[in-house]
Amino acid sequence: MDTIEEQKPGTTRCGNTEFVWGRKTYVMGIVNVAPDSFSGDGLAGVEEAVARGLRMVEDGADIVDVGGESTRPDFTPVPVEEELKRVLPVVERLARELTVPVSIDTYKSEVACEAVAAGARMVNDVWGLKKDPGLAKVAADNGLPLVITQNQRGAEFKEFFHELIADLERSMQLALDAGVDSSNIIIDPGVGFGKTVEQNLEVVRRLAELKSLGRPILLGTSRKSFIGHVLDLPVEQRLEGTAASVAIGIANGADIVRVHDVAEMMRVVRMSDAIVRGKDS
């Protein structure tokens, strides 16, 4: 059985795409088919969602992440049947029409299983296997990458960053025990998700410390409320704040950035990579 200590970032295969960690920063575009999305970008129609995904790839996205349930504070959980109704037509169309992998953003194993059958090639679990450990088996059985997010909702940490790392380690071990290949584990420190403004800022500032876990890091700061608190701006005016957090995140070791505004953030990524990794990255 794999253990956390043995992991090296290396490479991860996702569908027909191979991610070589450290070579460049990859961009994950967000397609929300949840009408109550915190970011105000929720889409109700399949055609509009597919068009957004296609446009994101034209703008440079390396992955398109499709989600059917809001992750905002005090969100209303969506029944499995409703979530499937929202995401499956979009996943199926995008998987057929895109040249890059489609990811399914869900914490429910039933949704993940159906989405994978429809063409999803990555599973993004915002609850880090805490809500439904069966999600790991879906990833393991299909040989898919699994994003494990540290979700702090309902918990209070006394030694914040130390406990955040320990929590990620527990989720990683759950994935390994379920048979997920070590090369398929991606970690996300979970900016937002029950953390205070100060804790979110600390995550970005100390992101490099997560390299001790030996796995690639996904950072999702796009339009989030901590940016609004710092700048005193509504969600639709957080582009520059997002750009700053993305650039500093890349400098501190982010391997994937999950964003709403792909065209603008691609420029930030390319400039940041030129500085951090060299102009030919």
Provide the annotated active-site residues.
224, 258
Of 259, 267, 257, 129, the closest CA to residue 204 belongs to 257
Rounded-to-integer distance, Cα 250 and Cα 246, Å: 6
CB 133 within 8 A of CB 140: no
93 residue type, one letter: R
